[in-house]
Every structure is written in C-alpha cells, then in structure tokens.
Structure 1
Amino acid sequence: MKGNPDGSGKKIESKHRYVGLVPTISWLLTCRDPSYPVLYDSLKWFARLWDTCLPVLDDARYHYVSLGVGSGEKDWLILNQLQRSNPDLLYIALDISAHMLRLGTDEIRKRLPGRVLPIELDFEDRSSLRALRKLLNDMVGDDPILFSLLGNTLANIERDKDFLKNLTTVLRPQDRLALEIATTDVLTESTAAAAAAERRGSRLYNEFATASLGTYTDLTVDTNNLEFVGSVEDSHAIRIEASYVNKSGATIPLMLPNREVIPFRAGEGIRLSVARNYWVDGLRTLFGACGLHEMAVDIEFGDTKEEVRDSANFGLGVVLLRYEPHVDGTTSPLGRVWGAGGGAPRIG
C-alpha cells in the first residue's frame, strides 16, 4: 500500500487488487453478478462484439497473448477461432496474480496441451514489456501476434494513456491489439454520479473492491465504509474512484505486510481502485496520441437504469487496433458505430 511518509495519501495500486486468493475468488463471483453490469454484460456480449472484429484478422496465423486472463472464457473463445487458421498457435497468458493465472488457464491448458505458457507478470511495468517482447521474439519470430486487454482493464489503470503508449512498444506492424472498454455517450457530473451508483449497487463488487484490504492490512473490513465518487476526467472519460473511509471517529493503527504500523485517521480514506467509462471522442484522442489505428469496433448499450435514462447510455465495446503512428485517423470506425447507436455523443 502506497502513501506519504506521514501516513496520508493512502492507496492500493489498482494492479495489485487481484493479488491473493480472496480477491481472485471475489472477482470471479462479481463477474456473474447481474447487479454489476460492467462485468456481467461483458461476459454476455463479448462473443457478439468479437464477431465484428474477427473478419478483419483475415485468417492470418496469429499467436495469442492475453494481458490479464480473467476467468479465461473470452480467451478460449478467441483461441478457438484463431486455431482454425493456426492449429499450432501458442497461448501466452499474463497476469500479476498467480491465483488468477491458475484458475483462468486451467481449462485451456487441458484443451491446448503443450501450447499454453502462463506468466506471472506486472505488464504495467515498462521493463516487463521489454522483457516480454524479447521473449516473444525468441518464441515466435516474425509470426503475427494478437494481443488482448479485455474486461475494461485499461480503465482500471491510473495513467491509462501512459500505459497504452508503453504497450505500443511491443506491437509490430503485423501484430494486433483487441481492447474491451466500458463506454458512455455523455460526460456530465450527473452521469458520473450515476456510474458511481452503478458500482455501489452490487454487494459482490463491494466485497471485491475491499478484498485487497484483507491482503495488505489487518483491518476489519465493513463494506458500509466503502464510498464511490464519480467525476469527469479531462473530456476523456467518466472516472470512478472507490475509497474505504474510516468512519469510526478514532484513529485506527493499521499494520502492513512488512509489520509496519501506520495511522488510519478518522475521516481519512484509502483509495482502493480507479475505473472509467470512456467517451467516444476521448477514445479517438487516446488512440491517436498513442499511434493506434482502429480497424474494427462494435459497441453494445445496456438497459440504462432509470436514474440516468434521460441523460446517458452506458455500454461496452470491443476495438481491434493496429500500431501505425503515421496513419490518418479522421475516418475512425468509432464515429460510424456510435452514430448507429442512436445519436451523437455529447459533453456538458
């Protein structure tokens, strides 16, 4: 857990909230929770959204690298389709959580014996990406690779633009990147509040959001102390931060894994996670700044809750990208897809 020397500014890095058996199991249960549509709808809609992107791959003989394996269901869908063109494909599964790797690849390892390489790796780290690129060069040479970052993982990374720029260092002209993102067609404070309420409404998600506290501290957790705050982030996305607030009225001594004890003061919060719903123009700007060009995109809008029905649509999208920093992105497929969704996005 990070913080300042005086004990203030406490936060758990988003990439670490999956580490440990309890957070892993909590996350897998949350994926099946209908009251948390970001993950529930992701599993429900992914196959249809991916069908839009698949033809653009042109039956090339891709290998597959998954950045964050999750439950493994989406990876198996992609692998099952890719191996029709490349029966000898390799599956490299990356995750910072050893438990997630083991559970997420268990079934696939049985179906693709000898062709699955699980790697416990912090892929947010630039040096790890360099090592990964070297490993892939040694393993597959010039063969094309499909990379994936699914489950709205990009939205959970604090410096998403910097991470995406770093990720392009592993992409060659023949490689592709499949990206799954949560979306919004409106950037307003009221919509940001509604996005926060959407997460607050799932008991299982609240248990997942606080599970990391049990891994890194000796705190007795009460999910009633969990708070979600939504805001508009730089004409880019709706940003939702989850914090655990000390509502006891007294300072709580907080022990960390290294046995250091720090003060958790009354009214103070520990930031547990960052999440986003991306605005379409924000995505265009983000991709353009990273030299990524959209080859295919599809977005599905869910049943918007009553409190935001008149102001916004939340959805999920899958985008297939290639790294070509000098390509003109003015004919972005994002605009065409959003137009088909029933109206132009707006901000204000």
Structure 2
Amino acid sequence: MDQDLDPEVGVVKLATGLVVALLAVAGCASDDRPREGTVAAKPQRASLVPPATPVIEPLPTFPQYEPGPEEPFPNAKRVAGQAVQQLLTYERGATPADVAGRVGLSPSATQQLTESVAPAVPPKTASVAEVIYPQMAGTTETTYGAMVVVRQILQDAAGRRSAVTRTVDIRLRRTTGPWSVEQIASIGGSPTKRPADLSASARRVLDSSRITFTDSARWDIYRGAVDTRLLDALARAAERHRFSVAVLSSGHPRNVWQTDRRSAHSSGYAADLYAVDGRLVVRQPKAGTPAYELAKSFAASGVRQLGSPWDFDGPGRASFTDVVHRDHLHLQQAAASP
C-alpha cells in the first residue's frame, strides 16, 4: 500500500541526507591531512644521482725532436730541441720552480730560469710541447746557441685547451765531450693583448695569411718594438712568397753571439725567417729554390744586412753567408743601436 510522504518530513530527511553527503566529501578531501593523534608520513624523496664527472681528454704526446740529416750541428740541435721540449712538458700543478729544477742547471741559472719561465707555467695547468724548429743563434768551438720555435699546448683544470708558439733562447756548452745545456736565457716573452691602435704596417703583416709569426714575434709587434721599415719589407716579401718568422726580438740573444755588440734584433730592426713556401731554408741550399729567390730579392732591395746560405754581393757588403746562416734568412733594415 502506497503511503503519502509528509512534505515537511521529506524536507528534513533531504536536508539530513545533504549534510551527511557533504561531510563525507569533506572527509575524503581531508584524507591527506594528519588526523588528531596521528603523525604525518614524510614524503618520499627521489634518490639523488651524483652528477657525472666531466671526462678530460688527455693531452697529445709528441716524439722527441730529431734533426734532419741536412742540419749543421745535428747533435747540438738535438740537445737544444729536446731540452726545450722537456722544459715545457709538465703535469698540472707544476710550479715554475718545479719546471726549472728539472733542467739540471747551476743554482744561479736555475733561479734565473724560474723567474723567466713563469709566463709559460700558468697555475693549475698542464702542458705538452712540440718542437717546430731549432734555428741557430751562433756557435764557437765550445759554445752553441739555438732559438727553438716550440708550440706549447696548455690545458686548464676544466679541460679547456689553448696553444702558444714561443721562441726559446737556449745556450749549450762543451769541452771535449757532448753538448750540455748551460742556460735558457729567454722563454720568448710574456703574452700581450693586441692593441686597437696598431699602425697600418703592423696590421698589414699581422693579418697576412702568407706570414707565419711565432706568438713571441707577435707580442713584439703588439708592443710597438719592431721598426716600421722592417714590417714593410716583410709585407712586400709576402706578396711573392709565404714564409715563417722564427724571431724578431723576444727569444733572440741580446748581443751578437759571443761579442759585446748589440744585435739588431734587440732594437727591433731584424727578422729571421726559417721556412719559405712551406719548406725549411736548410732544405733549399740550391740556387733557384724559393728561399734563394726570396733572399736574392732582399739583397736587390737595398737591405742594411742579409745573412743567408748565399753571398750575393761579395765580401764586406750587405749580403753574407756563414755556417750559422745556413738554416735561415736574416733580414735587417736599419742600423742596430749601440
């Protein structure tokens, strides 16, 4: 039998049902809150993965320098080249004193080298060296000098690499036995930034793709230490040949070998070229080679002095040859300072 619902009772029942439903919903919504008398569980953390350690590629290795069969004084060149290569190859963390102490020089020479080698030994940096060419500086019966062109590859603690090409002035001595290192007189200068106000002559040679300078030579030009007439002569020569410059001033002995006469290089008046058109000068001894043709053009241009494997104008004049200049072209455009 159907019963009629009292409207008022129905409203009360409906209201009561809504309250219960709302409380149920509220209870579901608050399930993640701590209830009275309970402790909230700590959220789970993702496991921490340590960051990957960057892999630093090892520096390359280079064989010890060995002179070619055409070289004058090959034993001396071997000793000079390998000594410089050993000097500028060191582990990260080495100090200038560590590097200088490995050469085996006298205490005074070691102290001098510790001071001069500092620009080539940045803190927390590893280095490896490749000898490009050891050019002769001078020789007597008991002494020998070389200006070693060497490429130094540096790597910092983060693995970043940079390269510097230096000209190192090294001196050897012997009595009756083999050559040994007596002194490393210069490490080839300190890095210098290229200034914005370089002369037109300086910009012309520095930006030429046909002239290869060592960084030591570039720093000399940056400092304004090279005569403009020499720079212009090099620029004109580059119109005919490509060539490599071993030294301008930094890395060259201050005086002419074993004399008290100041070298033209010390005043920024001279340049030494050790390769022409991609070949060492010492490997181009014959007339008609690119080195010969370049030297001949220098002689014809009215240079102050030209040393090379050839004498173009006879004894006592601007051009001359001797055993020291068999491996490079010495170009001087002005008189040396006293």
TM-score, normalization: structure 2?
Answer: 0.26
Higher normalized contact order (CA 8 Å, seq sep 6+, divided by chain length): 1
Q: Name the one with the larger helix percent.
A: 1
TM-score, normalization: structure 1?
Answer: 0.25
